[in-house]
Structure 1
Amino acid sequence: MLEFAGFLPILLLIGLAAIQLGLVGYAANQAGSGARAAARVASQGEGGEAAGQAAMDGSLDATVAIAGGADTTTATVTAQVPTLLPFVDTNWSVTKEATMPNDDAADGS
């Protein structure tokens, strides 16, 4: 019993680290979804920032940036990773980028 009590904090720390790794994956997945949605809407000639934010979980702190070119539109989303572990740097972020071809119907062809 005493050995288990001594090992319990290590087990809890490993469990929290596994959950934290899941939060990193979740934030990366949400950033990818937001980047794809923002690029898709922006490539059709509309503002994609709102679509990118709407495609992600509202509890994530994320920024959406749109860069358009002649043939393609690129959306970049940077999302802050929620931190669960105590005593760990809380400034983790993930960045995902998506590029879509511009809509040909916008130029009348």
Structure 2
Amino acid sequence: MIGMAAIQLGLIGYGVNQAGSGARAAARAASQQGGPPAGAAAGHAAVSGWLDPDVSAERGSDLTTATVTVTVPNVIPLFDRYTVTRRATMPTDD
């Protein structure tokens, strides 16, 4: 049981890392000339596919914000899946 809990915590940490990386990549791409479609594509590309990321990017006149949500699968059957959301904001290039 302790081993399974350690694996679960590791998966959650990995999910947090992946969501953060995806949000930064999406914000960077969306802040440039590609806009939100390029941001969503970059966010999906930066996250492991088995985490099934949900990526959104909004480009404003001054700032671009991207949000990535991933669902970490459960290893311990008694617990539900764990959802992680991370946001990143970058200045919009003109």
Partner of 1:61: 52
CA distance in 1, matches of 2:19, 2:4: 22
Is 1:84 the counterpart of 2:75? The answer is yes
Q: Which has the higher strand share?
A: 2
* Structure with more contact order per residue of length (Cα contacts < 8 Å, sep ≥ 6): 2
User: Which blocks of at least 5 consecutive residues in structure 1 are unaligned?
Assistant: 1-12, 105-109
- TM-score where L is the length of structure 1: 0.79
After superposition, residues 25-104 of structure 1 pair within 5 angstroms as: 25-46=13-34, 47-90=38-81, 92-104=82-94
3-state SS, counterpart of residue 103 of structure 1 = coil
- TM-score where L is the length of structure 2: 0.91
User: Which blocks of at least 5 consecutive residues in structure 2 are unaligned?
Assistant: none
Identity over aligned pairs, percent: 62
Runs of 4+, deviation exceeding 2 Å:
none
Task: Give the superposed CA RMSD.
Answer: 0.9
3-state SS, counterpart of residue 23 of structure 2 = helix
